[in-house]
Amino acid sequence: NIKNSSFEKALKENNYQAAYTVYDKSENKSNEEQALNAHLNTYFELCFSSDYNDTTWQQYRGIEVFNSLIKETVLQKLQTTVTEYYEGKYSESDVKTYLGRISKFSFCKEELADALDEVNKKDFSDKAYAQGVELYINGEFEKSVLEFKKVSDSDPNRYPLAQEGIDRIKNEWGKEQLEQAQNMIKVHNNEGATVLLEELIELFEEYPEAQQLLDSLAPELET
């Protein structure tokens, strides 16, 4: 308890070298790690508040001495913030500000670029989903799949629906295409069946039934 108290005191004073010394000497580090996580959350809260200013990171930057312990949490916070933006919680300008603050850590350069890229893709992703639905309704299934594939996986609402749409098209329209390929094979139009099956596999990326049928043609095509 004394060690944990001195650890928390050092964190509160932003004296991270002292905190690390206590942590390094601790035999059971779970209490210190919980306190560190709580302290990191305090920084996150500041990142989303009007209290954040030009000196905030200077005050907290020494926490990087614990990078090996906090890296995963920081990167997860970046992704969570992007997801919340897709849910409509923040404006585009605000979320970019928050991401910039969260990503002050030295290991965040590439992850920040990826997060900002996802933010910039939101309008594109929204339009792709709407277009995919319209094309599906109109029976243009290939084009619908291509649009659904453009929906960002950072969108917790539209992305699962887009995947569901792709699966539905694969199970319904895709099955019809498989039957068409089988009919081509029956009349010895193996080249036509091959083209159709290859297009199906490219469209859906993973289609075991189509791949199995295509593989069955390989020996005959080789001869």
Least confident stretch, 108-122, 138-152, 160-174, 207-221: 207-221
Q: What is the pLDDT of residue 221?
A: 46
Instruction: Flag whether pLDDT at 222 surpasses 60.
Output: no
Specify whether the CB–CB gap between 193 and 201 falls below 8 A: no
Quick one: pLDDT band at residue 219, thresholds 50, 70, 90?
low
Lowest mean pLDDT among 1-15, 106-120, 173-187: 1-15
Burial 88-112 (b: 16+ CB within 10 A, else e): eebeeeebbebbebbbbbeebeebb
pLDDT tens profile 129-158: 999 999 999 999 999 999 999 999 999 999
Please provide the DSSP assignment of 100-139 as one string. Answer: HHHTTSTT-HHHHHHHHHHHHTHHHHHHHHHHHHHHHHTT
Nearest to 196 by CA among 206, 187, 185, 186: 185
Per-residue confidence band for 206, with pLDDT thresholds at 50, 70 and 90:
confident
Confidence of residue 79 (pLDDT cuts 50, 70, 90): very high
Q: If residue 201 lies in a helix (H) or strand (E), which one and from where to where? A: helix 190-204
| Amino acid, res. 135 | L
Residue 57 predicted with pLDDT over 60: yes
Tokens 């923040």, residue located: 90
Mean pLDDT, residues 10-21: 96
Q: How would residue 113 be classed by pLDDT, with cut points 50, 70 and 90? A: very high
